[in-house]
Chain A
Amino acid sequence: MELYSLTVHQLRKMLSKGAVSAVEITESVLARIDRVEGRIGAYITLDRDGALAQAAAADREIARSAGGPLAGIPLALKDVACTEGLRTTAGSKILESFIPPYDATMVAKLKDAGAVILGKLSMDEFAMGSANENCAFGTPHNPWALDYVCGGSSGGSAAAVAADECLASIGSDTGGSIRQPASYCGVVGLKPTYGRVSRYGLIAYASSLDQFGPLTKDVRDCAMILQEISGYDQRDSTSVNIGVPDYSAALGKGVKGLKVGIPREYFEEGVAPEVAAAVRNGIDLLKEAGAELVDLSLPHTDYGVAAYYIIAPAEASSNLARYDGVRYGHRTAAPDSLLEMYNQSRSEGFGTEVKRRIMIGTYALSSGYYDAYYKKALQVRTLIINDFKEAFARCDVMVSPVTPGPAWRIGEKNSDPLSVYLTDILTIPANMAGVPGLSLPCGFTGAGLPIGFQIQAPHFGEERLLQTAYALERELGIAGRKPAAL
């Protein structure tokens, strides 16, 4: 068994017994990257020397019985997380040469835990996309079927884990951007409760929805990574100051007597039969394991995408105003005036989808349209939140598909942005309501594409998510299956 193909928890056990060194693990993953990255394209920036130096430092720590819970484990980060001294592009030409002067809090926490940072992963520009086809530095390929998209916007984060090009990764999720690519690439992806993980140093898309979270090979790894990145941060005034439980301790609890809600709207029109069947199979397994099934309704599900495509672009149009060519990022050559500098720098630096969302957001916030669009969307957000409150009064977790269908062929939906937006219909509501959600691989289509099983829980219910996912993962018995395409 090659080291790169193992999980975080397996390698941590080997490291602490002295059966392997951190440098050996990092070298194994770097060799794997050399072998497959040409076909995947998951990385924007690979920090080979930095990773080997961090691994050597981890070995020194481990040798004197020190080192954190992730000591010597090579991880990779979505290129939306600021890394001190390591280029961070957000997938955009406008930040092509941006070197952050500080680490995101999440990154600092991973480093404190001893993790080795391999590099920065591909993403849709400013996290705007659902297929990772909007990256200024190329589109990554799905490890299960190389002609297919990885999903997005954390496509590189999902592909790198599925292809064993890192042990685990971090993504960010604003409307499904961790769960959807995790589902398309057959890995575990968790979007924590809004406020669970600090957003300090997360290059902002839509601040009221954005959240960092882990993408991993199995549920135990997911709990381990979440443990290290969670917690209050005074630098993020929206992070929530409540204690972080021991997530790994929740894993073995089983689902006996757990009330599992099934929102009927998540199985309605547009859900592919193969996807519905795989998810139903997962539900049956939970029932056999002792879970109590509860039929539920989330009546405003169908309005989530419409509200999202006002709220998120509105926040983005404001957040992305900072890219003006003054303090960082691209500046047009020899501008004649300040206004020309703004206009040209932004027009040259931003890609099409980013411009489109800035335009939607600016329009929705402009005089005369604010009430009709922005305020209306915020009111519908309240209705969606109320749906969740009522549902969680009757169940402990809710289960459903992650997406209506599996991954599609690269380029297939390029001409129709709306059809891509609609693939987020089952993931957006969790962001609107701020609740945590997890995607667990639950099967494959006839064509061999992975299918994801979504679990949602009330605010700060990550333990229940992990508990449910761990039980189902064991029943399904497909964890550890590797893409044959590589």
Chain B
Amino acid sequence: MKITIDQVKYVAGLARLELKPEEAEEMAGQLDRILSYVDKLNELDTSAVEPTTHAISITNAFRADERRESLARDKALANSPRQNGEAFVVPKII
């Protein structure tokens, strides 16, 4: 096995997902199959190959440092599951 149930649970925690025990088990099997397939990348020697993140090379895309209109507060808040007209409201953190 490339990935154990404990690893699945650990990764789920990192990804902020909660998996039911049967979901974790099924996920472990599927991830194992997928990662085993991905292992075929190791057939290739890439020691002298640069990684590519974007196919079209783009240097820094700067714009003039000018003030511009942004989304109005009421519009920005409109889709929030909980807000008080001024801010997003979340459970107490501290």
Contacts and interface: CB of A to CB of B under 8 A. Distances in A.
B47 to A, nearest CB: 9
Interface string B16-56: 11110001000100110111011111111010011111111
Secondary structure call for the A interface:
helix
Interface in B1-28: 3, 7-8, 11-12, 14-19, 23, 27
Nearest to A357: B34
A391 to B, nearest CB: 15
Contact of A238 (B33, B52, B56, B81): B56
Given A433-B55, A434-B56, A383 B46 contact: yes
Interface in A265-313: 300, 302-303, 305-307, 309-310
A86 to B, nearest CB: 13
A195 B56 CA distance: 8
Contacts, number: 166
Interface in A429-477: 432-435, 459
Contacts of B34: 309, 360, 417-418, 421
Contact of A418 (B37, B61, B88): B37
B53 A208 contact: yes
Nearest to B14: A362
A443 B26 CA distance: 39
B75 interface: yes
A99 B74 CA distance: 13
B18 A344 contact: yes
How large, as a class, is the contact surface on chain B?
35 or more
Contacts of B80: 326-328
Nearest to A372: B42
Contact of B16 (A238, A327, A346, A379): A346
Contact of B55 (A340, A341, A434): A434
B12 to A, nearest CB: 7
A237 interface: yes
Contact of B38 (A310, A346, A435): A310
Contacts of B7: 363
B18 A343 contact: yes
B5 to A, nearest CB: 12
Interface residues of A, number: 70
With a 10 A CB-CB cut-off, give which of B12, B18, B33, B38 has the most chain A CB atoms: B38
A424 to B, nearest CB: 13
B67 interface: no
Nearest to A326: B88
Nearest to A193: B56
Nearest to A354: B17
11 contacts: A306-B39, A326-B90, A338-B90, A343-B18, A355-B27, A359-B12, A360-B34, A379-B51, A385-B55, A418-B34, A459-B55
Interface of A: 98-99, 101-102, 193-195, 208, 234, 237-238, 240, 300, 302-303, 305-307, 309-310, 317, 321, 324-331, 335-344, 346-347, 350, 355-356, 358-360, 362-363, 366, 373, 375-383, 385, 417-418, 421, 432-435, 459
